[in-house]
Amino acid sequence: MSRQPFRAFVSLFPDVRFILSAAQASQFPADRGTEVAFAGRSNAGKSSAINAIVQRNGLARVSRTPGRTRLLNFFEVGAGRRIVDLPGYGFAAAPEAERRTWAPMIDALRKRRALQGLILIVDSRRGVGPEDENLIAWARDPDARADGEPMKVHVLLSKSDKLTRNEGFKALKAAKGVLGETVSAQLFSAQDKVGIDEAQRVLLDWFAAGETGGQ
Ligand code: GDP
Protein backbone atom coordinates (compact mmCIF):
# COMPACT_ATOMS: atom_id res chain seq x y z
CA MET A 1 0.00 0.00 0.00
CA SER A 2 1.23 3.49 -0.77
CA ARG A 3 2.46 5.44 2.20
CA GLN A 4 1.58 8.68 0.47
CA PRO A 5 -1.52 10.30 1.99
CA PHE A 6 -4.42 10.07 -0.40
CA ARG A 7 -5.14 13.31 -2.22
CA ALA A 8 -7.85 13.52 -4.81
CA PHE A 9 -6.60 15.38 -7.89
CA VAL A 10 -8.79 18.39 -8.42
CA SER A 11 -7.49 20.75 -11.05
CA LEU A 12 -7.43 24.40 -10.02
CA PHE A 13 -7.61 25.35 -13.69
CA PRO A 14 -9.93 22.82 -15.30
CA ASP A 15 -10.74 24.71 -18.49
CA VAL A 16 -7.61 26.08 -20.05
CA ARG A 17 -7.52 27.17 -23.66
CA PHE A 18 -5.74 29.56 -25.98
CA ILE A 19 -8.00 32.47 -26.94
CA LEU A 20 -6.09 34.72 -29.35
CA SER A 21 -2.89 36.55 -30.19
CA ALA A 22 -3.18 40.34 -30.37
CA ALA A 23 -0.97 42.52 -32.56
CA GLN A 24 -2.83 45.65 -31.50
CA ALA A 25 -5.15 46.72 -28.70
CA SER A 26 -8.27 46.60 -30.89
CA GLN A 27 -7.84 42.82 -31.02
CA PHE A 28 -7.90 42.33 -27.24
CA PRO A 29 -10.77 40.33 -25.78
CA ALA A 30 -13.54 42.46 -24.24
CA ASP A 31 -12.42 44.16 -21.03
CA ARG A 32 -14.59 42.01 -18.76
CA GLY A 33 -13.80 39.38 -16.15
CA THR A 34 -10.30 39.20 -14.71
CA GLU A 35 -6.85 38.74 -16.15
CA VAL A 36 -3.25 38.46 -14.97
CA ALA A 37 -0.22 39.27 -17.12
CA PHE A 38 2.98 37.20 -17.20
CA ALA A 39 6.23 38.80 -18.31
CA GLY A 40 9.97 38.34 -18.11
CA ARG A 41 13.22 38.44 -20.03
CA SER A 42 13.48 35.96 -22.89
CA ASN A 43 14.58 32.61 -21.53
CA ALA A 44 13.72 33.48 -17.90
CA GLY A 45 11.43 30.45 -17.77
CA LYS A 46 8.07 32.16 -18.35
CA SER A 47 6.56 29.48 -20.61
CA SER A 48 7.62 26.74 -18.21
CA ALA A 49 6.18 28.70 -15.28
CA ILE A 50 2.81 29.25 -16.99
CA ASN A 51 2.58 25.58 -17.92
CA ALA A 52 3.46 24.46 -14.38
CA ILE A 53 1.06 26.89 -12.71
CA VAL A 54 -1.97 26.06 -14.86
CA GLN A 55 -0.95 22.39 -15.06
CA ARG A 56 -0.99 22.19 -18.85
CA ASN A 57 2.18 21.04 -20.52
CA GLY A 58 2.72 22.78 -23.77
CA LEU A 59 0.11 25.48 -23.27
CA ALA A 60 2.48 28.44 -23.43
CA ARG A 61 4.26 26.84 -26.39
CA VAL A 62 1.56 28.52 -28.48
CA SER A 63 3.22 31.85 -27.67
CA ARG A 64 6.48 30.62 -29.13
CA THR A 65 5.19 29.59 -32.51
CA PRO A 66 6.51 31.66 -35.42
CA GLY A 67 4.68 34.92 -35.79
CA ARG A 68 3.40 34.93 -32.23
CA THR A 69 6.52 35.71 -30.26
CA ARG A 70 6.04 39.49 -30.51
CA LEU A 71 2.32 39.40 -29.80
CA LEU A 72 0.22 39.38 -26.64
CA ASN A 73 -1.22 35.92 -26.21
CA PHE A 74 -4.43 35.49 -24.22
CA PHE A 75 -5.40 32.20 -22.56
CA GLU A 76 -8.62 31.42 -20.72
CA VAL A 77 -7.93 29.55 -17.48
CA GLY A 78 -11.48 29.49 -16.05
CA ALA A 79 -14.78 31.25 -16.67
CA GLY A 80 -13.96 34.91 -17.28
CA ARG A 81 -10.36 34.39 -16.09
CA ARG A 82 -7.47 35.01 -18.44
CA ILE A 83 -3.70 34.92 -18.51
CA VAL A 84 -1.96 37.40 -20.81
CA ASP A 85 1.45 36.18 -21.96
CA LEU A 86 3.69 39.16 -22.83
CA PRO A 87 6.62 38.74 -25.21
CA GLY A 88 9.98 38.14 -23.57
CA TYR A 89 12.18 41.20 -23.42
CA GLY A 90 15.93 41.65 -23.14
CA PHE A 91 16.72 41.36 -26.82
CA ALA A 92 18.59 44.13 -28.61
CA ALA A 93 16.56 47.32 -28.91
CA ALA A 94 13.47 46.67 -30.98
CA PRO A 95 13.21 48.43 -34.35
CA GLU A 96 11.41 51.77 -34.19
CA ALA A 97 8.45 50.52 -36.25
CA GLU A 98 7.93 47.65 -33.83
CA ARG A 99 8.12 49.95 -30.84
CA ARG A 100 5.49 52.23 -32.35
CA THR A 101 2.92 49.43 -32.37
CA TRP A 102 4.17 47.78 -29.22
CA ALA A 103 4.12 50.72 -26.80
CA PRO A 104 0.45 51.66 -27.34
CA MET A 105 -0.51 48.00 -27.06
CA ILE A 106 1.01 47.46 -23.63
CA ASP A 107 -0.26 50.84 -22.48
CA ALA A 108 -3.75 49.76 -23.48
CA LEU A 109 -3.23 46.52 -21.55
CA ARG A 110 -2.26 48.45 -18.43
CA LYS A 111 -5.48 50.48 -18.58
CA ARG A 112 -7.75 47.45 -18.65
CA ARG A 113 -10.06 47.05 -15.68
CA ALA A 114 -9.83 43.29 -16.07
CA LEU A 115 -6.07 43.32 -15.48
CA GLN A 116 -5.47 42.46 -11.83
CA GLY A 117 -1.73 42.15 -11.68
CA LEU A 118 1.58 41.17 -13.16
CA ILE A 119 3.55 38.00 -12.47
CA LEU A 120 7.14 38.69 -13.40
CA ILE A 121 9.55 35.83 -14.04
CA VAL A 122 13.16 36.58 -13.10
CA ASP A 123 15.95 34.01 -13.37
CA SER A 124 17.02 33.43 -9.77
CA ARG A 125 20.68 33.32 -10.84
CA ARG A 126 20.53 36.73 -12.53
CA GLY A 127 18.36 38.54 -10.02
CA VAL A 128 16.16 41.57 -10.69
CA GLY A 129 17.72 43.62 -13.51
CA PRO A 130 17.12 47.13 -14.87
CA GLU A 131 14.64 45.90 -17.50
CA ASP A 132 12.66 44.10 -14.80
CA GLU A 133 12.65 47.26 -12.71
CA ASN A 134 11.43 49.25 -15.71
CA LEU A 135 8.55 46.87 -16.19
CA ILE A 136 7.65 47.04 -12.50
CA ALA A 137 7.70 50.84 -12.61
CA TRP A 138 5.43 50.67 -15.68
CA ALA A 139 3.03 48.35 -13.84
CA ARG A 140 3.08 50.30 -10.60
CA ASP A 141 2.28 53.70 -12.15
CA PRO A 142 -1.10 54.45 -10.54
CA ASP A 143 -1.94 57.26 -12.97
CA ALA A 144 -2.01 54.82 -15.87
CA ARG A 145 -4.59 52.59 -14.22
CA ALA A 146 -8.35 52.84 -14.60
CA ASP A 147 -8.84 52.69 -10.83
CA GLY A 148 -5.86 54.91 -9.91
CA GLU A 149 -4.29 52.11 -7.85
CA PRO A 150 -0.85 50.63 -8.59
CA MET A 151 -1.05 47.20 -10.16
CA LYS A 152 -0.10 44.22 -8.00
CA VAL A 153 3.22 42.63 -8.91
CA HIS A 154 4.57 39.24 -7.81
CA VAL A 155 8.03 38.01 -8.80
CA LEU A 156 8.89 34.35 -9.40
CA LEU A 157 12.62 33.75 -8.97
CA SER A 158 12.77 30.95 -11.49
CA LYS A 159 15.02 27.91 -11.95
CA SER A 160 15.71 27.83 -8.22
CA ASP A 161 16.73 24.18 -8.66
CA LYS A 162 20.01 25.57 -10.03
CA LEU A 163 20.81 27.15 -6.67
CA THR A 164 21.74 25.54 -3.37
CA ARG A 165 19.39 26.14 -0.49
CA ASN A 166 21.65 28.86 0.85
CA GLU A 167 22.06 30.55 -2.55
CA GLY A 168 18.28 30.45 -2.97
CA PHE A 169 17.80 32.10 0.39
CA LYS A 170 20.31 34.81 -0.54
CA ALA A 171 18.73 35.35 -3.97
CA LEU A 172 15.31 35.82 -2.37
CA LYS A 173 16.70 38.22 0.20
CA ALA A 174 18.53 40.26 -2.45
CA ALA A 175 15.40 40.42 -4.64
CA LYS A 176 13.26 41.54 -1.70
CA GLY A 177 15.84 44.24 -0.99
CA VAL A 178 15.47 45.59 -4.53
CA LEU A 179 11.71 45.14 -4.75
CA GLY A 180 10.78 46.65 -1.39
CA GLU A 181 7.56 46.06 0.51
CA THR A 182 5.04 46.57 -2.27
CA VAL A 183 6.16 43.78 -4.61
CA SER A 184 6.10 40.19 -3.37
CA ALA A 185 8.61 37.52 -4.42
CA GLN A 186 9.19 33.79 -4.05
CA LEU A 187 11.53 31.06 -5.23
CA PHE A 188 10.18 28.97 -8.09
CA SER A 189 11.25 25.95 -10.10
CA ALA A 190 9.05 24.50 -12.82
CA GLN A 191 11.50 21.62 -13.08
CA ASP A 192 11.59 20.62 -9.40
CA LYS A 193 8.08 21.87 -8.68
CA VAL A 194 9.18 24.42 -6.11
CA GLY A 195 6.74 27.19 -5.22
CA ILE A 196 3.98 26.13 -7.58
CA ASP A 197 1.30 26.12 -4.85
CA GLU A 198 2.36 29.58 -3.74
CA ALA A 199 2.23 30.98 -7.27
CA GLN A 200 -1.17 29.35 -7.89
CA ARG A 201 -2.47 30.89 -4.68
CA VAL A 202 -1.38 34.39 -5.78
CA LEU A 203 -3.04 33.95 -9.17
CA LEU A 204 -6.29 32.59 -7.69
CA ASP A 205 -6.38 35.31 -5.01
CA TRP A 206 -6.00 38.02 -7.64
CA PHE A 207 -8.74 36.54 -9.82
CA ALA A 208 -11.04 36.25 -6.80
CA ALA A 209 -10.27 39.81 -5.63
CA GLY A 210 -11.12 41.16 -9.08
CA GLU A 211 -14.37 39.24 -9.15
CA THR A 212 -15.53 40.55 -5.78
CA GLY A 213 -14.37 44.05 -6.65
CA GLY A 214 -17.60 44.81 -8.51
CA GLN A 215 -16.51 43.72 -12.00
P1 GDP B 1 10.82 31.69 -21.64
O2 GDP B 1 11.63 32.10 -22.83
O3 GDP B 1 10.91 32.72 -20.54
O4 GDP B 1 9.39 31.33 -21.94
O5 GDP B 1 11.52 30.42 -21.00
P6 GDP B 1 11.25 28.83 -21.13
O7 GDP B 1 10.19 28.41 -20.20
O8 GDP B 1 11.10 28.48 -22.56
O9 GDP B 1 12.63 28.29 -20.55
C10 GDP B 1 13.88 28.73 -21.04
C11 GDP B 1 14.90 27.64 -20.75
O12 GDP B 1 15.03 27.49 -19.34
C13 GDP B 1 14.54 26.27 -21.30
O14 GDP B 1 15.71 25.64 -21.72
C15 GDP B 1 13.92 25.57 -20.11
O16 GDP B 1 14.08 24.18 -20.17
C17 GDP B 1 14.72 26.16 -18.97
N18 GDP B 1 13.93 26.16 -17.72
C19 GDP B 1 12.68 26.66 -17.54
N20 GDP B 1 12.27 26.47 -16.27
C21 GDP B 1 13.26 25.82 -15.62
C22 GDP B 1 13.44 25.35 -14.28
O23 GDP B 1 12.59 25.45 -13.41
N24 GDP B 1 14.66 24.78 -14.00
C25 GDP B 1 15.64 24.65 -14.92
N26 GDP B 1 16.79 24.09 -14.52
N27 GDP B 1 15.50 25.05 -16.19
C28 GDP B 1 14.34 25.64 -16.55
Note the pLDDT of residue 215.
45
**pLDDT tens track for 121-163:** 999 999 999 989 999 999 999 998 988 999 999 999 999 999 9
Better pLDDT: 65 or 201: 201
**pLDDT tens track for 59-70:** 777 666 666 667
159 Cβ closer than 6 Å to some ligand 1 atom:
yes
Cα separation of 147 and 114, whole Å? 11
Q: What is the mean pLDDT of the chain?
A: 89
Better pLDDT: 170 or 100: 170
Relative to the CA of 189, which ligand 1 atom is closest?
A: 23
Nearest CA to ligand 1 atom 14: 43
User: What residues form DSSP beta bridges with 74?
Assistant: 20, 84
196 Cβ closer than 6 Å to some ligand 1 atom:
no
Cβ pair 117, 151 in contact under 8 A: yes
pLDDT band at 89 (very low <50, low <70, confident <90, very high): confident
Sign of the C-alpha dihedral, residues 168, 170, 175, 180? Answer: positive
Nearest CA to ligand 1 atom 19: 45
Residue 142: CB atoms within 10 A of its CB come to 10
Nearest CA to ligand 1 atom 28: 159
Cα separation of 101 and 202, whole Å? 31
**Burial class of residue 91, CB neighbours in 10 A (0-12, 13-18, 19+):** exposed
Q: What is the residue type of 19?
A: I
